[in-house]
Amino acid sequence: MATLLVHHPSFAEHRTAPGHPERPDRYRVVAAALAQPPFDTLARERAELAHLATTRYVHSNRYVDELEAARPAEGYVYLDGGDTMMEPSTWEVVLRGVGGTLQAIDRVVAGQVQNAFVACRPPGHHAETERAMGFCLFNNIAIGARHAQKEHGITRVAIVDFDVHHGNGTQEVFYSDRDVLYASTHQRPLFPGTGAVEETGVGNVFNAPLRAGDAGAELREAFEQRILPALDAFSPELILVSAGFDAHERDPLGSLMMTAHDFGWVTRALLDAAEKHCDGRLVAVLEGGYDLRGLADSVVAHVGELVKG
């Protein structure tokens, strides 16, 4: 079966303030990289708009209503101290990020494709139940996990996050939920300050923090000693991946030293786990990655492994 790429031209909208690292060019370089001949076999679908009700699977009614009411007719509305912002196109963009994630999950669970990559922006894993932060407004991956449970009858969902920043929002949503495993490698200390080994939820949270300067060897150790054994014990019915590429050695927002090859290794390890536990069902959703060359190279490595199956 094919790998699905979910994309949409609107992901090149959501214009951020000058100099902001989370910028439209991120989507453009990903789209250009995946337009090359090695990816001709990708099934491609444009991201659908999510129904607003699906955001309430994770976010409170108050938060969703206030965010909708904050949509500006012009200029910017700044959230969370200024790093996270909305402009007139943002609302459609973030609803397509949610919609594209749910769409990918629907296709994979139905067996129409083997796995999927959702090339959306802005990222989502910092968005908490009632708080936008870290460039994130809606938590795409968390909403996707709840969607899989509510609409497809899946019980055990595993979320693996290898962004350089800890997915505090995803952890917060599922911290007391034994049916969702959250596992993360990330640099610590670094924004947002969460992600200590001691943060274990109800035995469903597995943080494997890395230190500034750590590279592929430390990433492999974290996966082989902590995350992959946790996946084996949990035996998920679906694996979701918060695929952030800002742990790349070129990235300006972190100090880890990963290469595109390292992201390929992680992807292969997760595909092997998916094959072992859930018939290969895996959906990856783009999170961070702010050096354009590093992002493009890493996405090529990541999606290249997905295509191999």
| Catalytic residue positions, numbered | 126
- 63: exposed, middle or buried (Cβ count in 10 Å: 0-12, 13-18, 19+): buried
3-state secondary structure 182-219: EEEEEECCCCCCCCCCCCCCCCCEEEEEECCCCCHHHH
> Under a CB-based contact definition with an 8 Å cutoff, are residues 224 and 234 in contact?
no
DSSP 48: P
Nearest CA among 54, 236, 56 for reference residue 154:
236
Find where tokens 């708080």 sit. Answer: 131
CA 35-36-40 angle, 5° bins: 80
> Under a CB-based contact definition with an 8 Å cutoff, are residues 237 and 214 in contact?
no
> Under a CB-based contact definition with an 8 Å cutoff, are residues 139 and 169 in contact?
yes
Question: What tokens appear for 239 in the block?
Answer: 């694996």
**How far apart are the C-alpha atoms of 92 and 104, rounded to whole Å?**
18
Q: Is the dihedral of CA 138, 140, 141, 146 positive or negative?
A: positive
Paired strand residues for 34: none
Paired strand residues for 118: 6, 285
Question: What tokens appear for 6 in the block?
Answer: 């979910």
Find where tokens 């055990």 sit. Answer: 156
